[in-house]
Amino acid sequence: MRFTSRQRLDDAVLERSFTLGEIPGVLWTSASTATPAPLILLGHPGGLHRMYPRLAARGRSCVAAGFAAAALELPGSGQRPRHAAAEQARADLRRALEAGEPVGEIVDRLVLPLVDRAVPELRAALDDLLALPEIDGPVGYAGGVMAIGIRLAVVEPRLAAAVLFAGSFVPAVLVEQARQITLPLQVLLQWDDENNDRQQALDLFDAFGSREKTLHANMGGHTGVPSFEADSGNRFFARHLLG
Amino acid sequence: MRFTSRQRLDDAVLERSFTLGEIPGVLWTSASTATPAPLILLGHPGGLHRMYPRLAARGRSCVAAGFAAAALELPGSGQRPRHAAAEQARADLRRALEAGEPVGEIVDRLVLPLVDRAVPELRAALDDLLALPEIDGPVGYAGGVMAIGIRLAVVEPRLAAAVLFAGSFVPAVLVEQARQITLPLQVLLQWDDENNDRQQALDLFDAFGSREKTLHANMGGHTGVPSFEADSGNRFFARHLLG
């Protein structure tokens, strides 16, 4: 991991861009505290540059709550090389949704290779991030691409809690894997999400094996998660990652 | 309203028992602050004495968060006279549930008269409580007997926000009235509530007319609401009742 730029936000937060091999990422840490902080990995739908305002706001909010936060570009997004099969699957999905056709096989073609590529990258980033003196375990995962959050929760023992967003398609094989998850979960659901079938999201919530899991369902569409949920997520992580 | 006893809890909270006519109640206020505080009415299933430990804990937590809190005995509960028809309906409900028979008509017989009696009593208590110098509007409602919370939210303009518990039977006529409710809601659902049909609870959440409504679904049975939800409810009320 190599830091490529640094700036102060609000005087209190240090934001550093980095590359992990060819993968860009951003790290937010306290500019004032020397105590190592637990890390929250910020999930997102891909496109660090496009997502920057929202991610930086979440990064700042994490630091204010006593954490470090980091986001990594997804495979095939932003400046990273596209994958022809993924682009094809994305086009097929759009067409199938418009035609009202079943999408299960297309979702598998789109999401499973993404998960297979993204999760090892996130774990490699964890290796380097946890080696920094500013950061100390345990780790939380917060945010989008539910399928990535599920796989990471299944395979990554350093993950201690996750806030997942029921806002994207989840292959059936990953719904099955969700039953193996035992770490504390807070699951966000937008009640009228245009991208997301409500009953499937409720079934997925039911499937998680965790003894502590809380569903927070709010009104509105895909991008309408209320701002108070950031605060609520920080308190969830404080219960599980701090002292 | 007449105060009948007073004691300090933790030095910081003043707890006073009162009677409103023949109806017993308890009021929790700050023992240290002179600033009038918004009031949270604490709902419960009836039986102030039996419920006291839980209600006092919630009262203390409300005061610590900057509110006053009050609970009123329900009609037909605790020391108050029983109603023969309600006792009969309660026995019929138990029998019908054991036999797996439909309960709609029995729920109407049990819950609608309770709502018709309890809501005017709560409103009369509000008249007196809001006249105290320690209390100033707006008012929140938090807790049990969903049907009472629904009716109160429909008829009581001083109510500004409510945390409702999807843990009891709701007559169909009140599910219809829920559509008229517009105040901010936080709805608690116990995912495996033995007293409560999950799908009916989700349908009720869907029915509320409020633009800001959040469902918090947690694992476990009827009495297993996690303690962190008290804190979450206080923050919800802080958003809507405090400056």
- Domain membership flag for residue B144: yes
Q: Which of A163, A181, A191, A225 to mutate to test the interface with B (most CBs of B within 10 A)?
A: A191
Does residue B13 have a pLDDT over 90?
A: yes
What is the DSSP track for B158-197? TEEEEEEE--S---HHHHHHHTT--S-EEEEEETT-TTS-
- Domain membership flag for residue B83: no
How many CB contacts within 8 angstroms connect chain A with chain B? 47
Q: Report pLDDT digits (tens) over B145-156.
A: 999 999 999 999
- Mean pLDDT across the stretch A45-71? 96
- Domain membership flag for residue B148: yes
Percentage, residues of chain B above pLDDT 70: 100
Mean pLDDT score across all residues of chain B = 95
Pairwise CA distance, residues B205 & A215, whole Å:
13
Residues on chain A touching B205 (C-beta within 8 angstroms) = 217
Mean pLDDT score across all residues of chain A = 95
- Token duo for residue A13: 């937060």
- Mean pLDDT across the stretch A39-43? 98
Measured between CB atoms, does B18 come within 8 Å of chain A?
Answer: no
* ipTM of this predicted structure: 0.88
Residues on chain B touching A239 (C-beta within 8 angstroms) = 228
State the pLDDT at residue A175: 95
How close A215 gets to chain B, by Cα (Å)? 5
- Mean pLDDT across the stretch A131-157? 95
A92 — pLDDT class (breaks 50, 70, 90): very high
| Residue B131 Cα distances to B22, B94, B179, angstroms | 19, 41, 31
Q: Structure pTM? A: 0.92
What is the DSSP track for B106-141? HHHHHHHHHHHHHHHHHHHHHHHHHTSTTEEEEEEE
Residues on chain B touching A191 (C-beta within 8 angstroms) = 206, 215
* Residue given tokens 């109510």 in the structure block: B159
For A191, which residue in chain B has the nearest alpha carbon? B206
Does residue A126 have a pLDDT over 90?
A: yes
Whether B211 sits inside 8 A of A202 (CB atoms) is no
Pairwise CA distance, residues B41 & B22, whole Å:
19
Measured between CB atoms, does A182 come within 8 Å of chain B?
Answer: no
Measured between CB atoms, does A197 come within 8 Å of chain B?
Answer: no
State the pLDDT at residue B239: 96
Does residue B33 have a pLDDT over 90?
A: no
Whether A232 sits inside 8 A of B231 (CB atoms) is no
- Domain membership flag for residue B81: no
Whether A205 sits inside 8 A of B217 (CB atoms) is yes
Percentage, residues of chain A above pLDDT 70: 100
Does residue A167 have a pLDDT over 80?
A: no
- Domain membership flag for residue B23: yes
Residues on chain A touching B218 (C-beta within 8 angstroms) = 213-215
Residues on chain A touching B183 (C-beta within 8 angstroms) = none
- Domain membership flag for residue A51: yes
- In chain A, how many domains are there? 1
How close A42 gets to chain B, by Cα (Å)? 22
CATH number at residue A228: 3.40.50.1820
Q: Which of B202, B208, B212, B219 to mutate to test the interface with A (most CBs of A within 10 A)?
A: B219
Measured between CB atoms, does B176 come within 8 Å of chain A?
Answer: no
How close B154 gets to chain A, by Cα (Å)? 20
Measured between CB atoms, does A105 come within 8 Å of chain B?
Answer: no
B120 — pLDDT class (breaks 50, 70, 90): very high
Whether A206 sits inside 8 A of B191 (CB atoms) is yes
Domain with B170 in it: 2-76+118-241
State the pLDDT at residue A11: 83
- Domain membership flag for residue A93: no
State the pLDDT at residue B243: 73
State the pLDDT at residue B7: 96
Whether A217 sits inside 8 A of B215 (CB atoms) is yes
- Domain membership flag for residue A67: yes
Whether B231 sits inside 8 A of A226 (CB atoms) is no
**The length of chain B, given as a count of residues:** 243
Residues on chain B touching A181 (C-beta within 8 angstroms) = none
User: Where is A135: in which H helix or E strand?
Assistant: strand A135-143
Burial A107-122 (b: 16+ CB within 10 A, else e): bbbbbbbbbeebbebb
State the pLDDT at residue A142: 97
CB nearest to A215's CB, from B206, B210, B215: B215
A215 — pLDDT class (breaks 50, 70, 90): very high
- Mean pLDDT across the stretch B219-243? 93
Whether A219 sits inside 8 A of B213 (CB atoms) is yes
State the pLDDT at residue B34: 80
Q: Report pLDDT digits (tens) over B183-230.
A: 999 999 999 988 788 999 999 999 999 999 999 999 999 889 999 999
Q: Which of A197, A202, A214, A229 to mutate to test the interface with B (most CBs of B within 10 A)?
A: A214
Measured between CB atoms, does A215 come within 8 Å of chain B?
Answer: yes
B71 — pLDDT class (breaks 50, 70, 90): very high
Which residues, including other chains, have CB under 8 Å from residue B235's CB and lie 6 or more apart? A228, A231, A232, B65
Query: For residue B225, which of B199, B203, B204, B195 has the smallest C-alpha distance?
Result: B195
